[in-house]
Amino acid sequence: MLCSVRKALFAAVLVVPVILSSASVSSANTDAEWSRLISSEALDVAIEDGAGIQIIDIRAEKYVAKGTIPGAVSMPYKTWRGAKNRAGQPPSEEMLEALLGDAGISIDRPIVIFNHTGKTLQTGQAAYVYWLIKTAGSEEVAIMAGGFKAWAAADLNIAEEPSVLEPRVVDVAYRDDWWADPMDIFGVATGQRKGAILDARLDSQVKKSIKTGKAMKSMPLARYIPTSLLAPSLSPKRMSSPAKDKFRAELEARGINLNGDIVISVCQTGELSALSWFYASEIVGIENVQYYPDALQGWKADGGLLFGMHVPNQSIPSDARNVAQN
């Protein structure tokens, strides 16, 4: 069964400048690894082929009420998040077991996640759910590129209501391979561990900070990286080999060692850093990239100190350069 799923979804792996259709895939490599980012058309083919894929709709209820992908289960993004003062804190293993089990989702079967659009923040929300499910033990989980709008634009079948599955027993055992914790932050910040803490911010936030003279606050020794670089739009052109090579080169040009050092992705509330982790780890294939899900919100709630973040001149939008930031 899993082999047939791989065949169906390999058709849409976005590692070339265009989204492939199932008809354009060579049969020479049908055992390639699971596609982490797939097109709506390929998902439709997999559904038609009865590949047994579980589809999770993380849109708000008001959008789901207007239609969804056939077979999709509604699990709004807010149900995956923590308390208001630290929304990025992952649920306990027991809580996630209950969340998935009540929805009838198994982590032992392929899962595809989609949001409303493919815009940066919404893709970041999908990336957070992706990270959580993968960390819980799922080996085959993917994000549908472009969200539900891409599905509708392709004129594919739309169900009036989401599916309701039979509850099941789910066993979750979190892995820490991609999970940075406060001790990782402390180790990098104090020089006890080689690595870098990367903080993606919207260009608008940077411009406001420079204009007002009020420094952006982040973790100790965190480095500012433009959102357009670290948390990019997952457009087909960003999936090409030249684009991925350029991404590596941009990070290395900023003094970041990608050969063994830990790279920790952070942001204010968790979505941009989840997308940064997804692109760097799952698409570009940089090893040892970790995500700090608690984000600055959780760091501060735990009593962590925030410092003014240095913004290198070459990283500042051109119209905002040469303005002091203290």
pLDDT tens column, 135-160 = 999 999 999 999 999 999 999 999 99
Q: Which two tokens stand for residue 153?
A: 């634009």
Segment 25-31 long-range contacts (CB within 8 Å, at least 24 positions apart): 30/3, 30/6, 31/3, 31/6
Cβ atoms of 201 and 224 within 8 Å: the answer is yes
CA 232 to chain centre: 11
Answer whether residue 127 shows pLDDT above 90: yes
Contacts of 128 (CB under 8 A, 6+ apart): 77, 80, 88, 270, 271, 274, 293
pLDDT in tens, 156-173: 999 999 999 999 999 999
In the three-class reduction of DSSP (H, G, I as helix; E, B as strand; rest coil), residue 193 is classed as: coil
Choose between 215 and 171: higher pLDDT: 171
Q: What pLDDT, in 10s, does the model give residues 178-198?
A: 999 999 999 999 999 999 999
Domains of the chain by range and CATH? 2-153 (3.40.250.10), 182-320 (3.40.250.10)
pLDDT value at residue 77: 97
User: Residue 138: what pLDDT?
Assistant: 95
Is the pLDDT score of 289 beyond 80? yes
